[in-house]
Amino acid sequence: MLKTRWTRRFSEIGIDDVPLVGGKNASLGEMTRELEPLGIQVPDGYAVTAEAYIHFLEANGLVARIREIMAGLDKENVEGLTRRSKEIRDLVLKGQVPSELRDEILQGYEELSARYGGENTDVAVRSSATAEDLPTASFAGQQESFLNVHGEAQLLESVKKCFASLFTPRAIGYREDMGFDHFKVALSVGVQKMVRSDLASSGVIFTLDTESGFPDVVFVTSTWGLGESIVQGRVVPDGFYVHKPTLKEGYEPLIRKRLGTKEFKLIYDETGHRLVENVPTSPGEREAFSASDEDVLLLARWAVAVEDHYSEKRGARTFMDIEWAKDGLTGELFIVQARPETVHGQRQSPTVRLYRLGERGPLLVEGLAVGNAVATGSARVLEDPGEIEAFRPGEVLVTGITDPDWEPIMKTASAIVTDRGGRTSHAAIVARELGIPAVVGTENATTTIASGQPVTISCCEGEVGRVYEGTLRHEVTEIDPTSVGRPRTQVMMNVADPERVFELSQLPNDGVGLARMEFVFAGWVGIHPLALTRFASLPPRIRLEINRRTRGYEDKTEFFVDRLAQGIGTIAAAFYPKPVILRFSDFKTNEYAHLLGGENFEPHEENPMLGWRGASRYYHPDYKEGFMLELRAVRKVRETFGLKNLKVMVPFCRSPEEGQRVQEVMREGGLVRGEDGLDVYVMAEIPSNVVLAREFAAIFDGFSIGSNDLTQLVLGVDRDSERVAPLFDERDEAVKRMCATLIDEAHRAGRKVGICGQAPSDYPDFAAFLVERGIDSVSLSPDAVVPTTLKILEVENEGS
């Protein structure tokens, strides 16, 4: 390209050029110059500068006229705002591109086309505001972009449309809210070679968890076709989580993946009537992941490199919001846009808010949870943002899908519920910025919920957001982790639900003392392991349902291993590098029978509590193959994901001999105590574990007291029996002596002792007793972590 005044090729610009070319274009130039040598691919292109935009306005005499129209603007007057916006945009669209600017834009287009071997190549024309995507403000989505633009006439018209989009109602309103001078924000336009993702897939990447702000994952979303479907929130995309620290160590930690519905895809309109068109996806496309594991891992590596580069440039950790696309013709991946993430990136306070529902009501709808809060209010079902007069501040907005025209209403809502959209939809992004909960992608909220109906929006129950009928009681706990000191006794956490761990890991803690595998079994797998290893023996009805759930897996046991590894891996990643102690499955026979296919393999027992459970199952020929699947999942977490902080624990082990038999099976399955840092613990929940503590200590690395079962068996009390339940008390002297004896005996043998039962969470005085006896760690329910930590600090200070 010859020396130019109004345009700059991407390779000539960088992030220091935001005032000239805007945030998007500057980031593309920065990546082209600095990150392409690392293997990151960026489509070629050039920027029409902000100076060109100003020259266009001045050449058409528009500056003074725009000032006149904007004089006396009242942003709360939606009708007036909309009218002024249209008037300004009409003026811009009627303007003529000055000949010297026109020639330079077309010269750049000609040279770009030549580099791709032809004339009139297809390009994306993207707006980029010069104050765009600062760490404290995001202009993303407020200006317009155009895809599959061909030829000189389409290009020049698209550039003018981009110029005009600086004055959309949403862009004007946002600048008013953020205190930006309308005439100090200019617009640049990027002209970028199209990536033929209409023939493949595309998506958005965040270098943190968008709901909790957890910083150690890359969140990749993907859908079929062009990426505007995700950016505009019109589809629920596939989602993938990759763990950053072990990714940097060379592992492949794709710890979690979720299939989205992907109802539509945006493709080229081959008829020529429009640039692009939205078409329904096929059943096969909806049922398949739109990005391969290999592509997701490569994109995650690129995202980490982009984050590291921008963090170094800015002198502070900078989380990134990145758009990517795959070319269906060449199979190549490209980064097409990168900008700082602005919701969590600007938060300074370390305060963690924990919400908990105090009751449940009738469930109306459920979808994807955005945020982790709870809100109540009267529902207001609206079809169009023009119905703003019907909306009252504090109501819950219920609608099909939102776009920036809804923002005046959204700013006064207590919560948002939509029929369509995913976690990167407009509704989700705005809800995060406003700090309110949203439930998106419910499919039927607008037909199920009635205006005026009292509802409770719950996003505190994991990945699924729920809308309940009525105004439900709920609690909010605010915690500043930096204000809580660390005691000598380790304070760990009991964790069951992988979907909450990114949030919970931000509480002050020393790791996970009990990760319950059976919760992942039930919630993430849902199928009895033997129903997969002995699939052919099942009745046709059950085989049909298992085929439906395991669609895409030729080897059905791989479904079990993948899903279990994802649940376990998510927990281990959230607390990495702190230890996470996983208890192998501890269902009773009646609980196993409730899993799909389970009734075909489980015996009926009169007293399952004392029956075939825990260690006795793992080596038994009637279950051993199921335990081998558990071992494969653990190996995947440790060896493929690289999460060596994962330890394992054997429950309900009645004798040292039984412990040895379990470890023999573990060795057969490739897990060997002591190899690669693997610790193997035993639950101390049977009197024999205490009486023979030295013998157990010889074959295990430590003990974890299960106070619930230990109390039952020491006192001979069935805690589920109404008649004797009042006699169940972990603080009984006999139970306390058993705990004290175990601590003493284990320490003499050089082994650590923790407790993961409910007692320390419920009774701070019991936790104090254990600390006085020298216990090494206590593992608590999340809501008890902070108050019990403070109690332990008090006890330790008194004893020092």
User: Which positions are annotated as active-site residues?
Assistant: 426, 756
CA dihedral 405, 406, 411, 413 (to 10 degrees): 170
CA dihedral (33, 35, 36, 40) positive or negative: negative
Q: What share of the chain is helix, strand, coil (3-state, %, to 5)?
A: 45, 20, 35
Closest to 419 measured CA to CA, from 397, 398, 393: 398
Q: Are strands 438-440 and 415-418 parallel, antiparallel or unpaired?
A: parallel
Residue 147 has phi, psi (to 5 degrees) of -110, 155
What 3-state class would DSSP assign to 96? Answer: coil
Q: CA-based diameter of the chain, in Å? A: 94
CA angle at residue 668 from 664 to 671, to 5 degrees? 85
Question: How far, in Å, CA of 651 to CA of 632, rounded?
Answer: 18
The CA distance from 70 to 184, in Å, is: 14
Cα dihedral 225, 229, 230, 233 in deg (nearest 10): -160
DSSP conformation letters of 711-760: HHHHHT--TT-TTTGGG--TTSHHHHHHHHHHHHHHHHTT-EEEE-SSHH
Record the tokens describing residue 19, joined without a space: 């005032």
CB atoms under 10 Å from CB of 167, counted, come to 23
Q: Which residues of 116-139 are buried (b: 16+ CB within 10 A; e: fewer)?
A: eeeeebbbbbbbbbbbbbbbebbb
The one-character DSSP state at 593 is T
Question: Would you give the distance in Å from CA 240 to the centre of its chain?
Answer: 8
Show Cβ contacts of residue 25 under 8 Å, excluding neighbours closer than 6 positions. Answer: 10, 13, 17, 47, 126, 128, 188, 190
753 contacts 730 by C-beta, under 8 angstroms: no
CB contact at 8 A, 203 and 237: yes
How far CA 203 is from CA of 222, 303, 344, 447, in Å, comes to 4, 13, 20, 30
Q: In whole angstroms, what is the distance from residue 270 CA to residue 637 CA?
A: 46
